[in-house]
């Protein structure tokens, strides 16, 4: 098996779930971000080794080749596809490594399909495996435990990413994990046995940012404001870089101190906020203590006063949710000028405390991982029928993204500029999906980046959207009106599919 100093051929694969390649569903979501995790792992190969990354969400996967090793990333909804690919390569004598969140949650299930499985983050285990492979003594299980760090990790292999296939090629992660412990979150299971929250050195993070072309960045960190000192220094360093960025943070971190002002000064223009629920009892039961007793209105007002658009995340089906939860949540989001909303049906992922509780209470309804996409009901809700939960969730998406609601939420903002940005961003995101599809197919996604940067530019008189950006937007609107009405309607009915 091992092969001394011979150059290795390693194929990194992100398998897709079915809907990602289905034109009637929602491809744009899967053309958003490149597979950063795999590009991180590829950095541990030596210069002589031959590496390729195939992201099945955006390109076809050939199965007739013979690499030495396949490295496959497994999320819950791509698990069956990942196992099929691994089985195929193993049958040809290729060594198959499986890792990622789902493998960490269910190692026994995954190990049937792998020569080696990897639990937890890969920065320490993958280089150990490579050494073992070259020494001819591969282990069955590599578990990340003590000694986790992002210090001195090699720069991620962005050269292996085909940037033109993604709407947001400049995604970046500068921390791992999160300091909080919500019961429904993947985090505690994934990071068990070692540190659950740690950061890069600020200098390394700034260097990584510097390597990215253009202005727009999307931080995929679970909680960009999770370490105050780190975030402060990062934002200080970013000040002169003229970046526009998006990220995620918790409700309490937005209210505390002046970190959010510093983020805005450094270029933060849109933020994903885990509001999750408007009901305190739900928060208590989910151990989402950082949201308890916090004034959500104050969060929205503070962000808006800084010109930051909000992507609010809301979960339906928690134990205190009755029939009224859908309307209450949508009304709140529209009234408070939330730009985009991400609704989820509560989904107990294996490995989480929520899942353990649901199993104990005999409330899990299925173990079909394809359905664990937060759009299907996979457990018995406490106060709602499963069908009512699904219907309410679908209704919430439709209602929030109606033209009327988008216009109403936009009017919440004080200036015309801010209103227009809100309107374009929310409408662009949900109303022009057939157009996104056309652009993906025509490999024209990079045309959108300047437009996105225009919409994210600062809400001030000095930075009115440039003429050419407006023209680009107009041409997109004209183009999209050429998309058959039927196609629009199909998309409308699938809006629930996020
Ligand atoms: C970006 C993202 C997406 C992108 C995916 C883009 C992409 N090309 O990767 C999009 C928008 C498509 C997406 C979709 C979904 N996502 Co998503 N997503 C994320 C997010 C925010 C960041 C992922 C990331 O880049 N992390 C940073 C990199 C560096 O870490 P990493 O990818 O985990 O890789 C590391 C390790 O996992 C490990 N590793 C991974 N694979 C392997 C393989 C081997 C062999 C080895 C050695 C190591 C290893 O090493 C890497 C370096 O440490 C995560 C949250 C999170 N913080 O991870 C959620 C997250 C992964 N998504 C989640 C979910 C549920 C979904 C959806 C199913 C549903 C939904 N409602 O969105 C869909 C379907 C995805 C699918 N294909 O099946 C859950 C997964 C839960 C689970 N138990 O699997 C997460 C954790 C969010 C959450 N908090 O619940 N997602
Ligand atoms: S704050 Fe978010 S990322 Fe952190 S544990 Fe809770 S749900 Fe997970």
- pLDDT at residue 18, as a whole number: 67
Distance (angstroms) between ligand 2 centre and the Cα of 73 equals 21
Structural domains present in the chain: 9-143 (3.40.50.280), 167-416 (3.20.20.70), 420-497 (no CATH)
C-alpha 36, offset from chain centre: 11
Distance (angstroms) between ligand 2 centre and the Cα of 175 equals 13
Lowest mean pLDDT among 138-142, 302-306, 455-459: 455-459
For 8-57, write each residue's pLDDT tens digit: 999 999 999 865 656 455 456 677 899 999 999 999 999 999 999 999 98
Q: Ligand 2 in contact with 277 (CB < 6 A)?
A: no
Distance, in Å, from the CA atom of 352 to the CA atom of 195, rounded to the nearest integer, reads 17
Q: In this predicted model, which residue has the larger pLDDT, 419 or 266?
A: 266
Q: Which of the listed residues 173, 175, 178 should we mutate to test ligand 2's pocket, taking the one with most ligand atoms within 8 A of CB?
A: 178
**Phi, psi for 270 (deg, rounded to 5):** -155, 140
Calculate mean pLDDT across residues 317-332: 98
Reference 34, options 9, 67, 59; nearest CA is 59
Of ligand 1's atoms, which has the minimum distance to the CA of residue 74?
A: 41
- Using pLDDT thresholds of 50, 70 and 90, give the confidence band for residue 201: very high
Binding pocket residue ranges, ligand 1, CB within 6 Å: 14, 16-17, 29-30, 32-37, 40-41, 55, 71, 73, 75-78, 97-102, 105, 118, 121-123, 125-126, 173, 185-186, 220, 222, 349, 373-374
Distance, in Å, from the CA atom of 169 to the CA atom of 407, rounded to the nearest integer, reads 30
Distance, in Å, from the CA atom of 432 to the CA atom of 492, rounded to the nearest integer, reads 10
Distance, in Å, from the CA atom of 195 to the CA atom of 343, rounded to the nearest integer, reads 30
Residue 134 has pLDDT above 50, yes or no: yes
- pLDDT at residue 24, as a whole number: 53
Point out the ligand nearest to the CA of residue 352: 1
Q: In this predicted model, which residue has the larger pLDDT, 244 or 457?
A: 244
Torsion angle of alpha carbons 35, 349, 271, 410, nearest 10°? 120
**Protein residue whose Cα sits closest to atom 66 of ligand 1:** 373
The residue assigned the tokens 């990220």 is 247
Query: Which pair of tokens denotes residue 69?
Result: 């090793």
C-alpha 57, offset from chain centre: 14
Count CB-CB contacts under 10 A for residue 211.
Answer: 12
Residue 175 backbone zone (phi > 0: left; psi -120 to 50: alpha; other: beta): beta
Residue 492 has pLDDT above 60, yes or no: no
Q: Ligand 2 in contact with 182 (CB < 6 A)?
A: yes
Query: Which pair of tokens denotes residue 466?
Result: 């440039």
- pLDDT at residue 498, as a whole number: 33
Lowest mean pLDDT among 299-303, 426-430, 432-436: 432-436
- pLDDT at residue 165, as a whole number: 87
- Which residues are 422's β-sheet partners? none
């Amino acid at each position: 098996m091992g092969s001394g100093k011979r150059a290795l051929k390693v194929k990194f694969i992100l398998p897709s779930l079915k809907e990602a390649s289905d034109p009637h569903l929602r491809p744009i979501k899967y053309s958003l971000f490149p597979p950063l995790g795999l590009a991180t792992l590829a950095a541990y190969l030596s210069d002589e080794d031959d590496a390729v990354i195939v992201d099945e969400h955006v390109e076809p996967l050939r199965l007739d080749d013979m690499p030495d090793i396949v490295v496959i990333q497994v999320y819950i909804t791509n698990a069956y596809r990942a196992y099929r690919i691994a089985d195929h390569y193993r049958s040809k004598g290729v060594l198959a490594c499986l890792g990622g969140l789902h493998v960490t949650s269910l190692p026994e299930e995954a190990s049937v399909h792998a020569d080696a499985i990897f639990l937890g983050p890969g920065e320490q285990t993958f280089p150990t495996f490579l050494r073992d492979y070259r020494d001819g003594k591969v282990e069955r299980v590599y578990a990340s435990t003590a000694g986790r760090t992002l210090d001195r990790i090699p720069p991620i292999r962005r050269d292996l990413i085909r940037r033109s296939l993604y709407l947001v090629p400049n995604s970046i992660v500068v921390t791992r994990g999160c300091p909080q412990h919500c019961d429904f979150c993947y985090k505690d299971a994934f990071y068990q046995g070692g540190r659950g929250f740690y950061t890069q050195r600020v200098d390394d993070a700034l260097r990584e940012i510097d390597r990215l072309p253009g202005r727009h960045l999307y931080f995929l960190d679970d909680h960009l404001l999770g370490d105050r000192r780190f975030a402060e220094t990062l934002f200080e360093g970013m000040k002169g870089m003229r970046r526009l960025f998006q990220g995620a943070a918790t409700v309490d971190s937005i209210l505390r101190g002046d970190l959010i002002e510093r983020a805005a000064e450094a270029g933060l223009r849109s933020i994903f906020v885990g509001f999750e629920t408007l009901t305190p009892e739900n928060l208590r039961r989910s151990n989402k203590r950082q949201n308890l007793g916090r004034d959500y209105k104050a969060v929205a007002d503070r962000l808006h006063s800084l010109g930051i658009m909000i992507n609010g995340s809301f979960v339906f089906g928690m134990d205190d949710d009755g029939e009224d939860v859908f309307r209450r949540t949508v009304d709140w989001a529209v009234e408070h000028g939330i730009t985009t909303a991400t609704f989820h049906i509560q989904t107990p992922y294996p490995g989480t405390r929520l899942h353990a509780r649901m199993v104990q209470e005999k409330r899990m309804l299925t173990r079909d991982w394809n359905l664990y996409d937060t759009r299907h009901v996979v457990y018995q809700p406490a106060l709602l029928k499963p069908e009512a939960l699904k219907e309410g969730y679908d209704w919430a998406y439709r209602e929030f993204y109606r033209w009327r609601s988008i216009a109403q939420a936009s009017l919440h903002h004080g200036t015309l500029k801010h209103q227009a940005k809100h309107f374009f961003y929310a409408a662009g995101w949900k109303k022009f999906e057939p157009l996104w599809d056309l652009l993906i197919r025509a490999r024209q996604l990079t045309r959108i980046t300047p437009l996105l940067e225009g919409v994210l530019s600062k809400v001030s008189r000095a930075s009115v959207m440039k003429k050419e950006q407006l023209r680009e937007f107009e041409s997109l609107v004209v183009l999209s009106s050429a998309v058959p009405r039927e196609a629009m309607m199909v998309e409308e009915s699938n809006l629930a599919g996020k």
